[in-house]
């Protein structure tokens, strides 16, 4: 092939007319940084190709590969890495340099990958025959001549020939280069066309996805200044994208509300660990300043291919509806938990005051800062029903505050009765039976809440801003009202709070009603029982007597415990202690029947066993009731005691000089069982001996074995010189507790020297 010159003065028609192999071989979309560094030069003269390949005239071979031409140490200077460094590496852009005659003088490693030829195989070869199918030679020669003559670059999609003979579609870019001697060269850049189309498609999709996404997207630099935002974030913030750029995160959104996500951003920048939907920001934005909104924040660190941190991507999703639904669900769970807590804690006793205190303790501080529980005074005593006009008289049962406040001083102290005028909210609540909600209380409202002007002033000074009243209604009767106050809690009461308060008040009202009815029945039973017991043991020959009766703790019903002292013929005395199993007014009435029957049978001068036998028959005729009883007859003339028991605890004999002992008696069966005979036991009574009769309430507890308690009883009785009154008090003090659930009847008899008309006996 004839040699053609490559000087500047040679015309473009020379290129067009005489070349069999052009340079329209491997070109691509963009120039790769690494390829440029390797193939663009050492002289730094040309802007696009700083390395000017020398021809044979300077003593070098025209065919030099990129690796052969790299200066010593170039790898270190370039930061050589096997990892892709960017889009260029992803596209694997191939670079081929061709001289004016169409011979390949530079060949990049990417060209070897794209065309299949090694540098040794390609360098010095004419590009066209090596890389172009013959049917495209004319077009290649034409375009090559145009580029070399005009200096205008050419690009497009073109089929090239691979070493294996197959055809590859590549994206080409051809451009003319000039070296420092005035020689022209053609640089061809190429990349695989399908790969390029895939990258272009991905970029287009990503760009379109971000720009049209309903998710707000922001790119922030390492100083948390906005570098880019998408339209969705513009709408969320209500701030144009251009007004974001360059501004700090805190300049766009409130620092107080967005302190948490800013901390999270710095953590992601530092650690590189993404945070996906782990932070929810609640606040207001300029786009919607009147509504509280919620955003879910996801954060990712942005890095370049070398791992250099560029900034952080902030993905923002408006989750206001989800947040509000979650808050509503949480509030519903809180209300249910409060109701469940109230069900467990309210009404643990049958005391009106304690039940009211339990209601107040449940509501503070979960529902209110200050809680009052007041009932109409008429429901707690034998008062006339409350009138439907004029003042309503309340009795305060409980007051509870979450913290010290003057609002507590404005409330009526427990136990105090106060008349509230007809215009007061409490009076209206109990008159109408409807709850009252004052979401935002002003001075006029406070005046209607308080009992007087001074109390209203205290409420105002305490900062009371919201108030709620719920009626205490049980079985169709209005008992009083539950008052709830908020001062330090900034949220006003709403309809949900009202519904919760009504539910708590309804549950508590039933418990209060049960407690007051229990108290009423208990009082009746106690009155009946005390009316049936002797006020003071009579003075009887040969005996000193002391007795006590203690009802069960107020929350329990009165039982059927009783004692009696019956004078008999012949200076004898019958001592009786019994216990009807059961409680309430029916048990007290049954006790009264048995006491009357015992007195009647005692007058017949029967043996103790016979008396119990008759009582057993009577008790058998009483439905659902049985009783225990001990019946003893003291005979001072004979210095004897005749005694029988019906399932009762054994009496204690206290004798001077000896330890107290439980009498070993036939136990017998309780009265009412029927069909079992009783036995009478006789023992001698010396002057000074004590006989102690008692019911099980004195010694039985849930916390100690009965044997242990009986031993304690014997130890306490080991003081025969103590007066009987002191002994009774000591036993009750040491053996009883205020909350014991059972009644106690206690009777102690001490024998003394007896003198009949004819002189001393025994």
Report pLDDT digits (tens) over 204-213.
777 777 777 8
Q: How many angstroms separate the CA atoms of 667 and 651, rounded?
A: 11
309-318 and 370-376 strand pairing? unpaired
Q: Which residues of the chain have pLDDT under 50?
A: 1-82, 255-256, 382-383, 555, 758-762
Per-residue confidence (pLDDT) for residue 23, from 0 to 100: 30
216-221 and 226-229 strand pairing? antiparallel
For residues 294 and 151, state if they share a domain: no
For residues 488 and 618, state if they share a domain: no
For residues 235 and 376, state if they share a domain: no
For residues 717 and 632, state if they share a domain: yes
Q: How many angstroms separate the CA atoms of 489 and 212, rounded?
A: 43
Is residue 378 within 8 Å of residue 511, measured between CB atoms? no
Evaluate whether residue 659 is within a structural domain: yes
Which pair of tokens denotes residue 300? 């990712």
Domain carrying residue 131: 12-198
Cβ atoms within 10 Å, residue 490 = 9
Residue 654: exposed, middle, or buried by beta-carbon count in 10 A (0-12, 13-18, 19+)? buried
Per-residue confidence (pLDDT) for residue 259, from 0 to 100: 67
Alpha helices in 450-494 (DSSP H): 453-461
Report the CATH number that the domain containing residue 686 is assigned in CATH: 3.60.40.10
Q: What is the pLDDT of residues 637-676, one digit of tens each?
A: 999 999 999 999 999 999 988 999 999 999 999 998 888 8
Q: What is the pLDDT of residues 551-589, one digit of tens each?
A: 876 545 566 888 999 999 999 999 999 998 877 677 777
Which pair of tokens denotes residue 215? 């998710």
For residues 248 and 344, state if they share a domain: no
Is residue 378 within 8 Å of residue 386, measured between CB atoms? yes
Evaluate whether residue 323 is within a structural domain: no
* Chosen domain end from 521, 549, 565: 521
Evaluate whether residue 553 is within a structural domain: yes
Evaluate whether residue 624 is within a structural domain: yes
Evaluate whether residue 497 is within a structural domain: yes
Which pair of tokens denotes residue 308? 């250099």
Cβ atoms within 10 Å, residue 533 = 16
Evaluate whether residue 232 is within a structural domain: yes
Per-residue confidence (pLDDT) for residue 678, from 0 to 100: 95
Q: Report the alpha-carbon angle 734-355-484, nearest 5.
A: 140
Evaluate whether residue 358 is within a structural domain: yes
Per-residue confidence (pLDDT) for residue 531, from 0 to 100: 60
Evaluate whether residue 273 is within a structural domain: yes
For residues 128 and 51, state if they share a domain: yes
**Mind spelling out the 3-state secondary structure of 302-367?**
EECCCCCEEEEEEEEEECHHHHHHHHHHHHHHHHHHHHHHHHHHCCCCCCHHHHHHHHHHHHCCCC
Report the CATH number that the domain containing residue 489 is assigned in CATH: 3.30.450.40
Q: How many angstroms separate the CA atoms of 659 and 719, rounded?
A: 9
- The total of structural domains in the chain comes to 4
Is residue 53 within 8 Å of residue 108, measured between CB atoms? no
* Chosen domain end from 290, 318, 346: 318
For residues 338 and 450, state if they share a domain: yes
By three-state DSSP, how is residue 19 classified?
Answer: coil
For residues 335 and 309, state if they share a domain: no
What pTM, to 2 d.p., does this model score? Answer: 0.52
Report the CATH number that the domain containing residue 33 is assigned in CATH: 3.30.450.20
Per-residue confidence (pLDDT) for residue 119, from 0 to 100: 93
Q: How many angstroms separate the CA atoms of 599 and 576, rounded?
A: 10
For residues 610 and 754, state if they share a domain: yes
For residues 375 and 445, state if they share a domain: yes
For residues 500 and 411, state if they share a domain: yes
For residues 552 and 696, state if they share a domain: yes
Is residue 451 within 8 Å of residue 420, measured between CB atoms? yes
* Chosen domain end from 297, 318, 339: 318
Which pair of tokens denotes residue 45? 């003269």
């Amino acid at each position: 092939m004839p040699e053609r010159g490559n000087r500047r003065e040679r015309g473009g028609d020379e290129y067009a007319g005489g070349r069999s192999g052009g340079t329209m071989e491997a070109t691509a979309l963009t120039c790769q940084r690494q390829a440029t560094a390797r193939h663009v030069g050492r002289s730094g003269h040309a802007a696009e190709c700083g390395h000017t390949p020398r021809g044979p005239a300077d003593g070098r071979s025209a065919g030099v590969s990129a690796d052969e031409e790299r200066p010593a140490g170039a790898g270190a200077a370039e930061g050589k890495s096997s990892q892709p460094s960017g889009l260029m590496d992803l596209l694997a852009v191939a670079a081929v340099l061709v001289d004016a005659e169409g011979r390949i003088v530079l060949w990049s490693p990417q060209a070897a990958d794209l065309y299949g030829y090694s540098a040794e195989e390609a360098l010095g070869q004419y590009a066209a025959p090596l890389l172009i199918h013959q049917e495209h030679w004319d077009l290649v020669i034409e375009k090559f001549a145009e580029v070399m003559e005009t200096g205008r670059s050419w690009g497009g999609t073109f089929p090239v020939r691979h070493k294996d003979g197959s055809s590859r579609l590549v994206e080409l870019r051809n451009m003319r280069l000039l070296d420092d001697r005035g020689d022209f060269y053609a640089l061809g850049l190429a990349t695989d066309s399908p790969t390029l189309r895939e990258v272009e498609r991905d970029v287009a999709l990503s760009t379109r996805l971000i720009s049209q996404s309903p998710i707000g997207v922001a790119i922030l630099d390492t100083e948390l200044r906005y570098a880019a935002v998408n339209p969705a974030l513009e709408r969320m913030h209500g701030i144009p994208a251009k007004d974001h750029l360059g501004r700090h995160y805190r300049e766009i959104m409130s620092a107080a509300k967005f302190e948490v996500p800013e901390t999270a951003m710095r953590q992601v920048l530092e650690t590189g660990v993404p945070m996906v939907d782990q932070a929810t920001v609640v606040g207001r934005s300029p786009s919607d300043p009147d509504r509280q909104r919620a955003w879910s924040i996801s954060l990712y660190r942005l890095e370049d291919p070398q791992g250099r941190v560029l900034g952080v991507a902030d993905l923002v999703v408006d989750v206001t509806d989800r947040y509000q639904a979650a808050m509503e669900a949480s509030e519903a769970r809180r209300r249910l938990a409060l109701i469940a807590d109230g069900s467990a804690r309210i009404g643990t006793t049958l005391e009106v005051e304690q039940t009211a205190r339990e209601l107040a303790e449940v509501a503070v501080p979960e529902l209110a800062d200050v809680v009052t529980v007041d009932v109409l005074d008429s429901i707690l005593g034998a008062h006339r029903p409350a009138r439907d006009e004029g003042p309503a008289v309340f009795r305060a049962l409980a007051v509870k505050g979450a913290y010290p406040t003057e609002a507590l001083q404005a409330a009526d102290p427990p136990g105090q009765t106060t008349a509230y005028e007809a215009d007061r909210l409490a009076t209206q609540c109990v008159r109408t039976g409807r709850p009252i909600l004052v979401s935002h209380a002003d001075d006029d409202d406070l005046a209607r809440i308080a009992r007087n002007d001074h109390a209203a002033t205290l409420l105002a000074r305490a900062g009371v801003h919201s108030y709620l009243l719920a009626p205490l209604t049980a079985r169709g009767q209005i008992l009083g009202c539950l008052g709830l106050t908020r001062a330090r809690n900034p949220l006003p009461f709403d309809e949900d709070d009202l519904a919760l308060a009504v539910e708590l008040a309804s549950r508590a009202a039933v418990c209060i009603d049960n407690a007051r009815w229990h108290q009423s029945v208990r009082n009746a039973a106690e009155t009946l029982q005390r009316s049936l017991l002797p006020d003071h043991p009579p003075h009887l020959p040969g005996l000193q007597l002391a007795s006590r009766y203690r009802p069960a703790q107020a929350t329990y019903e009165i039982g059927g415990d009783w004692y009696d002292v019956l004078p008999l013929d012949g200076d004898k005395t019958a001592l009786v202690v019994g216990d009807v199993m059961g409680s309430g007014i029916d048990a007290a009435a049954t006790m009264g029947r048995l006491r009357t029957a015992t007195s009647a049978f005692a007058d017949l001068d029967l043996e103790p066993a016979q008396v119990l036998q008759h009582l057993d028959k009577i008790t058998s005729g009483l439905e659902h009731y049985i009783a225990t009883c001990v019946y003893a007859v003291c005979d001072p003339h004979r210095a004897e005691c005749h005694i029988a028991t019906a399932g009762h605890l054994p009496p204690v004999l206290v004798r001077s000089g000896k330890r107290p002992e439980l009498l070993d008696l036939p136990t017998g069966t309780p009265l009412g069982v029927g069909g079992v005979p009783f036995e009478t036991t006789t023992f001698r009574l010396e002057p000074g001996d004590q006989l102690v009769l008692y019911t099980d309430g004195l010694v039985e507890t849930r916390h100690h074995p009965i044997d242990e308690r009986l031993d304690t009883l014997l130890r306490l009785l080991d003081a025969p010189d103590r007066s009987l009154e002191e002994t009774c008090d000591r036993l009750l003090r040491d053996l009883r507790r205020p909350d014991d659930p059972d009644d106690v009847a206690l009777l102690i008899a001490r024998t003394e020297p007896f003198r009949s008309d004819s002189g001393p006996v025994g």
